[in-house]
Amino acid sequence: MVEKFNVIVIGSGTGGAGCAAILASAGLKTILLEKNPVLGGRCTSYTKTVNGEKWIIDKYVHYFCRCEKGPFGKILEKCGEPDAIRWFHPTFENPPLGFLDDIPIGAPLPPFLQPSNMSDLQRATGATDEEMSGILKVFDVIFSITKRKSHALDDIEFDEWVNSLVSNQKLLYILHSLCIMMNVHMPFSIEHKGKVYPGASAGDSIRNLSKWFKAGNTGYPIGGSIAISNGFANVVRKNNGIVKTNAKIVKIIVDNYNKIIELDDGTQYEAPIIVSNAGIKETVLGLVGEDKFPKDYIKRVKELIYSEGGRDYGVVSLKIGVDKKLTDSPVILVIPQSLSFREILDFKARDVVPDRPGLYYITIPSNMDKSLAPPGMQLINAIGPCAINSKHLDDWIDYNLRAVEKYIPGVYEHKIFIDITVGDNIKEWTGRFESDMVGIAQSVGQVGKNRPKPETPIEGLYIVGADTGSIGIGTELSAQSGLETAELILEYVKSHPDKVKIE
């Protein structure tokens, strides 16, 4: 006898878990299935014990935009559980620190951006007043453009747009860094194995920056990255839903309106509504199968390109445990000033470590939630450039470690352990076809009206997660999709009560 639900959610990433929380709290009988032993997908943490002491370490994600003021908060509001996820926010007394190579530029992230940042920028870059007026225009557009007008820039690459306003190369590197950090996609098109990959969309980047800057909020979930999906999953359980880990779906069987999913151990579940967080390509081409969809839909799905992480723009993530508190900062951001992103790509393509600083995003999670490291110790999470499939991984690790040592002196001397995650194998964790960091790229041709939608040609089958997120950065994009997909499903349930009823 196959157990029946109103809704089956495949995958517990931010989008899947968030969507499941809303649906369960709306009274639908919901099951959330995750193939990994822990929840969260790319937004997760693991526990490590060293000398009998416990560390909670982010597997990938570093830092979060908008937090409770964005879709994470809106999901929990809908569930009537606003406190299921709690956030740390840095203060003006101890804000994130920014550097242009090694020149400090004050706090570079919202809400800490101040007019003084502009004078710091001018001093550090040596830009003229006229050149500075270009970057001010960029910020002016970000703060004042309407959503409708931003869509007119959807088909323009971010690099082309900023180049039309800014001529100073060092200022351009700063804007490129913002784009790469947000979208994990190049601001310009690049060729890879004979195929051209369009750059990040200017319109989409502007909308994301605008939302983020206006919300004036950045932060980190108490409990580490995994606290987000755990928070959502607790809402599912509280509403009589089921949450299962180590539950890998191998097949979605669609027979007319009926849908059955099959796990790798042969278990089957049935539901009229299936929500897949496994990826649009992976669900359509893999779990369901091409023959179940119209040809033009399959063509479109095949054409979609992933964000970077495993193609040209590789990264290495170092999680460093130190036996002493070495810094008070919650976040340190280093923006390259002597190396363009085209040059960084070239170094990576040749698998040669650059001779100058790259883009480093360093968070100190235990300064945001001290329970993540043992008392008196510190956890540092640094992400920086690395060639894909490098034959010289030790050199890249050393290059990144030297950078961390420069901004947090004492790391070498005080390190207890260094865990290393290389971008190349993200797909082993996510089950996706590529090791992309964010989801389907927010690039020209894939945003605005061209963004893949949660609905599919199969009635009752939805795709949730960053792949179908309409706006936002990383996890926020995925949570936004969780919110919008749940709203679509609730509308569907309202208008088709007979179809969703369990016999």
Ligand X SMILES: Cc1cc2nc3c(=O)[nH]c(=O)nc-3n(C[C@H](O)[C@H](O)[C@H](O)COP(=O)(O)OP(=O)(O)OC[C@H]3O[C@@H](n4cnc5c(N)ncnc54)[C@H](O)[C@@H]3O)c2cc1C
Residue ranges in 239-278 that form contacts with ligand X under rule CB under 6 A: 248-249, 277-278
Minimum CB distance to ligand X, residue 181 (Å): 8
Residue of 34, 68, 157, 484 that binds ligand X (CB under 6 A): 34
* 306 binds ligand X per the rule CB under 6 A: no
Q: Report phi then psi at 187, rounded to 5.
A: -75, -10
Minimum CB distance to ligand X, residue 302 (Å): 19
Classify each residue of 370-384 as buried b or exposed e, where b means 16 or more C-beta atoms within 10 Å of its C-beta.
bebbbeebbbbbbbb
Residue of 9, 22, 32, 33 that binds ligand X (CB under 6 A): 33
* 14 binds ligand X per the rule CB under 6 A: yes
How many residues make contact with ligand X (CB under 6 A)?
Answer: 40
Residue of 70, 357, 358, 465 that binds ligand X (CB under 6 A): 465
Of 157 and 476, nearer to ligand X (C-beta) is 476
What is the CA 381 to chain-centroid distance, rounded? 16
Query: Of the ranges 113-121, 265-273, 426-434, 486-494, which one interacts with ligand X (CB under 6 A)?
Result: 426-434
Residue ranges in 381-420 that form contacts with ligand X under rule CB under 6 A: 383
* 31 binds ligand X per the rule CB under 6 A: no
What's the rounded Cα separation, in Å, for the pair 448 and 153? 10
Residue listed under structure tokens 């900062």:
329
What's the rounded Cα separation, in Å, for the pair 187 and 181? 11
Minimum CB distance to ligand X, residue 283 (Å): 8
Query: Of the ranges 82-90, 149-157, 159-167, 429-437, which one interacts with ligand X (CB under 6 A)?
Result: 429-437
Classify each residue of 236-262 as buried b or exposed e, where b means 16 or more C-beta atoms within 10 Å of its C-beta.
beebebbbeeebbbeebebeeeebbbb
Query: Of the ranges 41-49, 122-130, 199-207, 400-408, which one interacts with ligand X (CB under 6 A)?
Result: 41-49
Residue of 177, 217, 239, 317 that binds ligand X (CB under 6 A): 317
* 176 binds ligand X per the rule CB under 6 A: no
* C-alpha closest to that of 143 among 89, 211, 201, 81: 211
* 309 binds ligand X per the rule CB under 6 A: yes
Of 42 and 78, nearer to ligand X (C-beta) is 42
What's the rounded Cα separation, in Å, for the pair 75 and 85? 11
* C-alpha closest to that of 182 among 205, 162, 203: 205
Q: What is the bridge-based pairing of β-strands 30-33 and 242-244?
A: parallel
Residue of 476, 483, 486, 489 that binds ligand X (CB under 6 A): 476
Query: Of the ranges 10-18, 95-103, 113-121, 290-298, which one interacts with ligand X (CB under 6 A)?
Result: 10-18
What's the rounded Cα separation, in Å, for the pair 31 and 51? 38
Residue of 25, 36, 337, 366 that binds ligand X (CB under 6 A): 36
* C-alpha closest to that of 88 among 286, 284, 371: 371
Residue of 9, 15, 273, 390 that binds ligand X (CB under 6 A): 15
Asked if residues 485 and 462 have their Cβ atoms less than 8 Å apart, the reply is yes
* 43 binds ligand X per the rule CB under 6 A: yes
Minimum CB distance to ligand X, residue 467 (Å): 6
What's the rounded Cα separation, in Å, for the pair 20 and 18? 5
Which residues of this protein are in contact with ligand X, per CB under 6 A? 10-16, 33-36, 41-43, 60-64, 248-249, 277-278, 309, 315, 317, 383, 426, 430-431, 437-439, 465-466, 473-476, 478
